[in-house]
Amino acid sequence: MSTLQGKKIAVLTSQEGVEKAELESPIAAIREAGGTAVHVAPKLEPVQSMVGDTDKDATFDPDATVSDVDAADFDALVIPGGTVNADHVRGDAASVALVTAFVEAKKPVAAICHGPWALVEAGVLPGKTLTSFPTLQTDIVNAGGSWVDETVFHCPANGWDLITSRNPDDLEAFNATIAEVVGG
């Protein structure tokens, strides 16, 4: 039996600048493990992906809007990176409210690269240890979290699971940890 059989996981992006691999790879891994991945964005308009934060690539159609979903309907949340994407997610009040709802419901949240900016904005990092793209270290510490430089870090503190990774090179470990924690 697949580890995520029967699990429904939201994957939250903005409309712009999501790192292509950090969107595609977790969605594919969730589906390969038997789970349902639901791509959520502020609007039902194409989401622009980037490669290396600088080169436009494919567009992806979201499955639902942030305002149309409820954390109660999901088992976990994944937040891909991409500098522009992460900046737009943390600047969107409805997206930040969705992140907060997952944390308040004690549901696992996984964020990669610049994705943890949404967690900084949501104010949910006190007592948590995480990794990210290195330039977020100061933001994470200033938000009350502890930062480590590891491929993937799983922090179950404060009653909810946080899974984080640094960049697209860490996707294999990131995806495996999501499957392990959510499928647990």
* Cα–Cα distance for residue pair 83/81, rounded to 1 Å: 6
The four Cα atoms 58, 14, 153, 108 give a dihedral, to 10 degrees, of: -120
Both tokens of residue 49? 């992906």
Q: Which of 39, 113, 154, 155 is catalytic?
A: 113
CA distance 49 to 106: 30
Cα separation, 150 vs 136, whole angstroms: 14
Distance CA 122, CA 144 (A): 12
CA distance 45 to 64: 10
The CA dihedral of 149, 163, 28, 68, to the nearest 10 degrees, is -130
d(CA 60, CA 82): 15
Active site residue 155: no
Nearest to 2 by CA among 27, 24, 31: 31
* Catalytic position from the list 39, 114, 154, 155: 114
113 noted as active-site residue: yes
Q: Which residues are catalytically annotated?
A: 113-114
